[in-house]
Chains A and B, each alone.
Chain A
Amino acid sequence: MFSSTTSDKSSGYRGGDAVTAKLERHEVFETSGPGTVRVTTASGDVTIGASESNVIEVTLSVKDPSFQRMLDEAVIEFDRQKNSLVVRTRTHENFNAMRGFKAAIRRSPWFEFGGSDPDVHIALPEGSSVEVMTASGDTEIIGGLAKATVTSASGNVSVADEVGVLEMKTASGDVTTATVRESLTCHSASGNVRCDGAGTITKIRTASGSVRLSVEVPSDISVRTVSGNVAVSVARGLEVDVDATSISGRLSSTMPLDGTTGGSPQDAVSISAKTVSGDVKVSSAS
């Protein structure tokens, strides 16, 4: 089943003629279960909401009626066989038609297009996988997903609920996430990274971004930063095996590390942290 609607939520009076502009494009697709979604946008915010349902709902919205053509030009393609959805808020044609596009790219230190992209809201079944590529738009993920991959230049990334696998690449965007059950991989230049529940494997690389992790299960954590600080909070009762080095940063632990635990390595939280000038702090959760 497929349905598509556009809503007229804006009207105004300009030069004697009434102008009505649609501000939303809404499409619904029936699925046979969790699917995959791929979203590509430049400046639009992306919101992903997972819940117990068998439909994927896509809503594109613009705040300014002058950008309503972006709603029509956006690509929304659903492959019923693969349960796969693709959303692109800029097509090949309108991408190139933008005046001054190349000049803007050369001038700008980042991937910036002027903030006219539609916002993207997708509701989908729990257990789905999503891939989001954005330049300056923020990404927010709510509800349980099997896997989320987000590539962002300056947009922030927020994951509110537990996710199986999380892969992030961001330049200056901050990453905040709830529990990551299996693996968290994050590459960041200056963005900060916060995870409130590191899973089995965590691998984080940042230049100047700070890293803050909470650990409640045995896990393998590897963090590398240049000047970013690293703080790891471990749930009480868990064994820890720390290997931290820094050139000029301060290293500290609130727990004695005298090697007397005697537990198996699989049951421990293994923390490997290396910085150049960032501080590293390992602590027990309060």
Chain B
Amino acid sequence: MLILELLAGIREDFSALGQLGGPETASIAERLSAAIEPSLRAHFLEAMDHVIQEFNLQDSVALTLNLEGDQIRMNRVVAVEGNVAAPTPSDYSARIALRLSDGLKEDIEHLATDVGSSVNSWIVRTLERSVRSDPTESGSHNPRQLRGKGRA
């Protein structure tokens, strides 16, 4: 998505409205539309940020917003678990029987398929992340939350 195209559309609409009030208003609108462009750009990016943050709070597949010049792109975050040793076949000897809703089961199957994983592997990875994460941990690598009180 090109931000410039979006802003140009808004500017044209604004200028067209200004022309309704005569040449002087049109001139003012023309200048205002140019002057407000940086603010529009900032607000647009902020809105995109809010959308993505809300999406990421509700969905287990995280998105990121990348700016390349005037181009804005959304990308999925691929989990990198470099500090987690790959489990050997013998690590999978334990079993837990789960009872869950059909809807949740379908969601899990879709999410596992999306990342090219088996349902079992996806559930194990998700559980591993939950078990290892500590919201109050400080100085750790890549936690999603850093919360707590201290003294500098």
Residues of A at the B interface (CB closer than 8 Å) are 92, 95-96, 102, 105-106, 109-111, 133, 135, 151-153, 169-171, 187-190, 205, 207-208, 224-227, 234-261, 268-269, 274, 276-277, 280, 282-285
Contact = CB atoms under 8 A, between A and B. Distances in A.
Contacts of B52: 226, 247, 276
B46 A224 contact: yes
Nearest to A225: B49
A239 B56 contact: no
Contacts of A106: 8
A98 to B, nearest CB: 11
B35 interface: yes
Interface residues of B, number: 46
A169 B35 CA distance: 11
A255 B152 contact: yes
A268 B136 CA distance: 18
Contacts of A188: 42
A151 B39 CA distance: 9
Contact of A238 (B41, B53, B138, B152): B152
Interface of B: 4, 8, 11, 24, 27, 30-31, 34-35, 37-39, 41-43, 45-46, 48-49, 52-53, 56, 62-67, 70, 77, 136, 138-152
Given A95-B31, A247-B56, A240 B150 contact: yes
6 contacts: A96-B27, A111-B34, A246-B144, A247-B53, A248-B142, A277-B65
A144 to B, nearest CB: 27
Nearest to B7: A109
Nearest to A251: B146
A110 B4 CA distance: 9
B142 A251 contact: yes
Contacts of B147: 242-244, 257
Given A153-B37, A236-B152, A95 B27 contact: yes
Contacts of A242: 146-150
Contacts of B152: 234-240, 255, 269, 283-285
A242 B150 CA distance: 8
A244 B56 CA distance: 15
A247 B77 contact: yes
A258 B45 contact: no
Contact of A189 (B41, B53, B64, B139): B41
A255 B150 contact: yes
Nearest to A40: B35
B53 A276 contact: yes
A190 B151 contact: no
A250 B82 CA distance: 14
Contacts of B150: 239-240, 242, 253, 255-261
B59 to A, nearest CB: 11
Contacts of B70: 109
Contacts of B41: 171, 189
A229 B94 CA distance: 42
B146 A244 contact: yes
A157 B144 CA distance: 33
Given A234-B152, A247-B62, A252-B139, A207 B67 contact: yes
